[in-house]
């Protein structure tokens, strides 16, 4: 799940009152106490997945990662599911799974798609309501096909810095990717699985992380060759998705999602062939809209009026409103404006979700109905599942999302690795191209929700059109839902089928 907000006010925090030092407090330079041994909680279960009865061991617990001097630096909490009775583990795939944020724990993919238990929320974009929530056996869990390891990065779940390290040291593109790559290597060593086929599945910023981790693993003398990447709701070039004055690329990249959303809500008449219309919008975005935005004040009135009329036809927004926005269809404004006359806003993570604001006159929505519509259900389900079913007993709360990690994220990496520290956009797409070139066996799935205004599908298509990526080796899939397409039952089944095809290679 990608919570990176599109309204800076969300990030305003309160540091709390000053805490005065008490007698007996340790001085700032005091050495940290040695960390307690890592905790592990092992339980045995069975389930029927894709028609096959599977017995499995669930191992929820901590893995301590150490620095070069052998000192523990962080404790990574993960939940692994290992199939019983496998005669040759070297032929049994392992899939490492995480979410994004940055700052999110892995519960969304865990309880939404891949885990042996699943939270069933309404499939049609309705709010999940209040407890009790339907928590069911997940017949679509791929445990019949691959072992699964769900990973919570430092500062999320139960994971944290230990010893003399601090959480903030792991909050950054480079540091985070290094940490997860180290965890994967350690897990393979601890579980004697170095020869197993290896896959990574990430969602949202987790796709950025997945590519960065693949780059970390694929290199040096401790090279780990991956079999495949499952990138769900992809964002690997932030240039395509960050609306700033003077950067018109996102306007073009978001436009087809606005069209699909307008059709869904009846703001545009449903065409006889929606996919053909979306192709038409793609062409308009690249060949007319983006050049017009680049021309800016140099654009002639006749052409400006032509572009404005087409924008209105493709978005359901009035020409008058488009004129006042200088032809920019910024997604937060779009979410407020599309159904303003009906007193409704649409979601960011999934535009199928509807919300209501205090009044209808504002410029931006108060919140994301796709976020608060399911967040409480997932939080309740994960905490109950960990403590009741997996019998996890920890002395600290499970952190679903860490806003401090998001606010303090180091997007650019160590200064010594940069020629110049100019402001810019994170782009790991060239790293995917490199790994593809150096690993001809790597398979890549990119899963895209048609109603996702956080990581829109045309932005992904634009990304893989360049950056040295072999588009012929990318399996691009599309779903009738949003960022978390798996909350839509038909899309969940499609996504699992697409993932299984990635692992098996079967059409």
pLDDT digits (tens, 9 = 90+) for 123-144: 999 999 999 999 999 999 999 9
Average pLDDT score over residue span 106-122: 97
Average pLDDT score over residue span 308-334: 97
Dig out the tokens for 124 from the structure. 């049609």
pLDDT for res 24: 42
Residue among 481, 491, 495 nearest 451 (CA): 481
Interatomic CA distance for residues 343 and 266, integer angstroms: 15
pLDDT for res 297: 94
CB 386 within 8 A of CB 395: no
Interatomic CA distance for residues 296 and 123, integer angstroms: 42
Residue among 463, 21, 478, 475 nearest 252 (CA): 463
- Residues facing 237 on adjacent strands: 427
Average pLDDT score over residue span 449-469: 97
Interatomic CA distance for residues 238 and 426, integer angstroms: 6
Instruction: Please state, rounded to an integer, the average pLDDT across all residues of the chain.
Output: 92
pLDDT for res 32: 59
pLDDT for res 30: 52
Interatomic CA distance for residues 313 and 284, integer angstroms: 12
Helix (H) or strand (E) holding 487: none
Interatomic CA distance for residues 60 and 70, integer angstroms: 24
Interatomic CA distance for residues 172 and 413, integer angstroms: 7
pLDDT digits (tens, 9 = 90+) for 362-403: 999 999 999 999 999 999 999 999 999 999 999 999 999 999
CB 344 within 8 A of CB 267: no
Look at the block and give the residue holding tokens 């572009």: 307
Dig out the tokens for 412 from the structure. 């650019």
Cα 439 to chain centroid distance, Å, stands at 24
Dig out the tokens for 113 from the structure. 């798609």
pLDDT for res 400: 97
Q: Where are the alpha helices (DSSP H) in 38-193?
A: 107-109, 173-190
Helix (H) or strand (E) holding 172: none
Cis peptide before 264 (omega within 30 of 0): no
Interatomic CA distance for residues 233 and 410, integer angstroms: 22
pLDDT digits (tens, 9 = 90+) for 7-16: 333 332 323 3
Helix (H) or strand (E) holding 437: helix 429-438
Kindly tell me the burial class for residue 441, based on how many C-beta atoms sit within 10 Å of its own C-beta (0-12, 13-18, 19 or more).
exposed
Handedness of CA 416, 99, 96, 71 (dihedral sign): positive
Query: How many other CB atoms sit within 10 Å of the CB of residue 326?
Result: 11
Fold of 30-239+375-504: Rossmann fold (3.40.50)
pLDDT for res 219: 74
Dig out the tokens for 126 from the structure. 């309705």
C-alpha distance across the termini of the chain, in Å: 28
For the cut 60, the answer to whether the pLDDT of residue 3 exceeds it is: no
Query: How many other CB atoms sit within 10 Å of the CB of residue 297?
Result: 6
Average pLDDT score over residue span 57-81: 96
Of residues 87 and 63, more confidence is placed in: 63
CB 218 within 8 A of CB 439: yes
Interatomic CA distance for residues 401 and 205, integer angstroms: 13
Percent of the chain with pLDDT over 90: 86
Interatomic CA distance for residues 214 and 232, integer angstroms: 15
pLDDT digits (tens, 9 = 90+) for 202-257: 999 999 999 999 999 997 656 899 999 999 999 999 999 988 888 999 999 999 99
> Which sequence spans correspond to the domains of the chain?
30-239+375-504, 243-368
Q: Tell me how many helices (H) and strands (E) the chain has.
A: 15, 14
Interatomic CA distance for residues 399 and 192, integer angstroms: 30
The one-character DSSP state at 160 is E
CB 271 within 8 A of CB 242: no
For the cut 60, the answer to whether the pLDDT of residue 4 exceeds it is: no
Cα 501 to chain centroid distance, Å, stands at 21
Interatomic CA distance for residues 317 and 330, integer angstroms: 12
Query: How many other CB atoms sit within 10 Å of the CB of residue 478?
Result: 17
Kindly tell me the burial class for residue 224, based on how many C-beta atoms sit within 10 Å of its own C-beta (0-12, 13-18, 19 or more).
middle
Least confident of 158-167, 368-377, 417-426, 472-481: 417-426
Band of the pLDDT at 19, cuts 50, 70, 90?
A: very low
Interatomic CA distance for residues 298 and 323, integer angstroms: 15
Interatomic CA distance for residues 373 and 26, integer angstroms: 44
pTM of the model: 0.92
Cα dist from 322 to 270, 305, 319, 417, 423, whole Å: 22, 10, 5, 43, 30
pLDDT for res 17: 34
Q: Cα-atom radius of gyration of the chain, to the nearest Å?
A: 23
Interatomic CA distance for residues 395 and 438, integer angstroms: 44
pLDDT for res 34: 79
The one-character DSSP state at 407 is H
């Amino acid at each position: 799940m990608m919570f990176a907000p599109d309204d800076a006010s969300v990030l305003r925090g309160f540091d709390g009152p000053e805490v005065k030092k008490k007698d007996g407090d340790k001085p700032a330079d005091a050495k940290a106490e040695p960390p307690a041994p890592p905790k592990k909680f092992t339980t045995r279960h069975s389930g029927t997945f894709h028609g096959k009865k599977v017995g499995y061991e669930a191992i929820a617990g901590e893995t301590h990662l150490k620095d070069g001097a052998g000192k523990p630096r962080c404790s990574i909490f993960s939940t692994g599911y290992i199939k019983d009775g496998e005669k040759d583990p070297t032929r049994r795939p392992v899939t490492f799974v995480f979410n994004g944020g940055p700052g999110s724990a892995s519960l969304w993919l865990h309880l939404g798609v891949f885990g042996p238990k699943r939270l069933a929320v309404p499939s049609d974009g309705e709010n999940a309501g209040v407890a009790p929530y339907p928590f069911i056996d997940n017949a679509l869990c791929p445990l019949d096909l691959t072992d699964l390891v769900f990973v919570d990065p430092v500062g999320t779940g139960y994971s944290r810095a230990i010893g003399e390290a601090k959480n903030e040291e792991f909050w950054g593109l480079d540091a985070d990717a290094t940490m997860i790559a180290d965890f994967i290597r350690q897990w393979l060593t601890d579980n004697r699985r170095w020869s197993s086929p290896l896959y990574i599945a990430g969602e949202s910023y987790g796709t950025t992380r997945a590519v960065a981790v693949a780059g970390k693993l694929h290199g040096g003398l401790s090279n780990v060759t991956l079999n495949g990447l499952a990138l769900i709701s992809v964002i690997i070039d932030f240039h395509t998705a960050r609306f700033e004055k003077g950067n018109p690329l996102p306007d073009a990249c978001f436009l087809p999602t606005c069209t699909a959303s307008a059709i869904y809500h009846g703001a545009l008449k449903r065409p006889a062939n929606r996919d053909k219309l979306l192709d038409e919008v793609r062409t308009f975005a690249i060949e007319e809209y983006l050049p017009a935005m680049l021309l800016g004040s140099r654009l002639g009135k006749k052409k400006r009026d032509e572009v404005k009329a087409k924008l209105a036809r493709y978005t359901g927004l009035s020409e008058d409103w488009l004129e006042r926005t200088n032809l920019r269809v910024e997604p937060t404004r779009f979410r407020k404006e599309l159904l303003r006359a009906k007193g409704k806003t649409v979601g960011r993570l999934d535009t199928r979700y509807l919300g209501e604001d205090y009044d209808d006159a504002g410029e931006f929505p108060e919140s994301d109905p796709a976020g608060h519509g399911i967040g409480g259900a997932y939080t309740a389900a994960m905490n109950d599942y960990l403590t009741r079913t997996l019998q996890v007993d920890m002395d600290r709360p499970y952190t679903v999302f860490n806003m401090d990690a998001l606010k303090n994220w180091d997007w650019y990496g160590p200064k010594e690795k940069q020629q110049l520290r100019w402001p810019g956009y994170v782009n790991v797409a060239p790293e995917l191209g490199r790994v593809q070139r150096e690993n001809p066996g790597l398979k890549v799935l990119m899963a895209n929700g048609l109603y996702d205004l956080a990581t829109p599908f045309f932005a992904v298509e634009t990304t893989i059109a360049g950056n040295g990526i072999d588009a012929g080796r990318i399996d691009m899939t599309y779903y009738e839902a949003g960022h978390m397409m798996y909350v839509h039952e038909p899309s969940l089944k499609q996504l699992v089928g697409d993932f299984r095809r990635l692992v098996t290679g079967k059409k």
